[in-house]
Amino acid sequence: MLKENLYKHHLILASSSPRRHQFFKDLGLNFEVLLKPIEEIYPEYLQRHEITDYLSVLKAKPFYTGLKENSILVTNDTIVWHKERAIGKPKNPAEAFTMLQSMSNTSHDVISSICFTTRHKQIVVNTETKVTFKELTKNEIWYYINNYKPYDKAGAYGIQEWIGAIGITKIEGSYNNVVGLPTHLLYETLNRIANS
């Protein structure tokens, strides 16, 4: 249905994430993956969705000059917000352990923004999902880190992996958002652009 609405458009996804690629395929979309390096640095005063809004727009900037009339560029950013600060991707096993241990037996928010850029306009949408972990043992945390190596994931975990199956007791909001892309917002906004 969405694919038919977008037949006049050239959809570009600026992400190397295989999870996001799969979501686009699951929605039946024809798209091209284009990557341009960018330093993901944001002002320290930004909070919660202000961070992901800022970074999703920042990721679109290198593409501004090359966008064609019928192109829709999609850029996205996701953070884990816990104890009033953003948690990014771990650089090593020790960082991953510290992140997961801090989220044990507590709730945190997974916040995502999607930026849609065309030659004539830019739309940014965002959403939050609250995730609750049981009390994780040190052995469970190290088992997960050693076997799944979650260094490409904000907050050092993938909800669709072992840690999600054994550790997450409650989720409020979009599951797909926690995996890496709020697909309901993607679908809704692309339809709006296609029909405008």
Domain ranges (residues) in the chain: 2-194
Is CATH 3.30.830.10 the classification given to domain 2-194? no
Q: Which two tokens stand for residue 67?
A: 């966008």
Q: Which helix (H) or strand (E) holds 73?
A: strand 71-82
pLDDT tens-digit profile, the chain (196 residues) = 787 878 889 999 999 999 999 999 999 999 999 999 899 999 999 999 999 999 999 999 999 988 999 999 999 999 999 999 999 899 999 999 999 999 999 999 999 999 999 999 999 999 999 999 999 999 999 999 999 999 989 899 999 999 999 999 999 999 999 999 999 999 999 999 988 8
Q: Which helix (H) or strand (E) holds 42?
A: none
Residue type, 172: E
Catalytic, 53? Answer: no
φ and ψ at residue 54, rounded to 5 degrees? -60, -45
Q: Which helix (H) or strand (E) holds 63?
A: none
**How far, in Å, CA of 79 to CA of 174, rounded?**
14
Q: Which of 26, 53, 77, 109 is catalytic?
A: 77
Q: Which helix (H) or strand (E) holds 138?
A: helix 138-148
